[in-house]
Amino acid sequence: MPHSHALASPLLNAGMPFDATREWLHQALAQALPRQQRGDRLQYMSDKPLIPAAVLVPLVYHPSHLSVLLTQRTEHLSKHPGQIAFPGGRAEAEDASAEATALRESLEEIGLRAELVALAGRLPNYITITGYEVTPVVGLVRPPLELRPDANEVAEAFEVPLQLFLDPANFTRHRYELGGKTGSYLAVTHENRFIWGATAAMLLSLGESLTQQHFLE
């Protein structure tokens, strides 16, 4: 059963204005504690060239709380079918920054317009076993979102209370062996949804950054 005790954070105070919330997020991300690099089986990735990519970590503003907007990928996709993810993808030549990549991909995947996103900062990069170096870009969004998910890629877009990811007790580490190589991944559960892998790792980084503490290390 996930734990969700209240932490001493302005984020959990009802009635905090949108602009003040965005500024608090910006300061918290800028002052986040340093930590070791995270990624999928990093011991096997040191000699591989990395492809730049970015995701948007959309925090949805509600007067009483914040939530995290996530997507569930469609089952027919060849890569990561059915998994829960942030909107995002690889950088294109026309993208001026990781922020530009994250906003472009969010528009393409879920119809979230860039002008609705108040950028707040970045989380540490995450390296995937498929060779991507992913920059998570955090943005604050005010409802109504008026999303238009791409039916080919996105089965559903949904919100999870941010408070779930501010408690280290809600994250678990799972170990596995594949092709003779060992590895591990993080996971967190909300209701009937199992959030794991890179998405869970970036959510853990979000929780660490906003609470100014190390969760599992």
Mean pLDDT estimate for the chain? 86
pLDDT at 16 (0 to 100) = 87
Strand 126-127 and strand 38-39: the pairing is parallel
Long-range contacts of 46-49 (CB under 8 A, 24+ apart): 48/131, 49/131
Whether the pTM exceeds 0.75: the reply is: yes
* 169-194 pLDDT, tens digit each: 999 998 877 677 777 789 999 999 99
Cα 112 from Cα 58, distance rounded (Å): 10
pLDDT at 176 (0 to 100) = 76
Confidence of residue 167 (pLDDT cuts 50, 70, 90): very high
- pLDDT at position 143 over 80: yes
pLDDT at 73 (0 to 100) = 81
pLDDT at 7 (0 to 100) = 39
Spell out a b/e string for 15-40, using b for 16 or more CB atoms within 10 Å of the CB, else e.
Answer: ebeeeebbebbbebbeebeeeeebbb
pLDDT at 75 (0 to 100) = 63
Question: Residue 75 is encoded by which pair of tokens?
Answer: 């089952």
User: If you average pLDDT over residues 103-124, what whole number do you get?
Assistant: 96
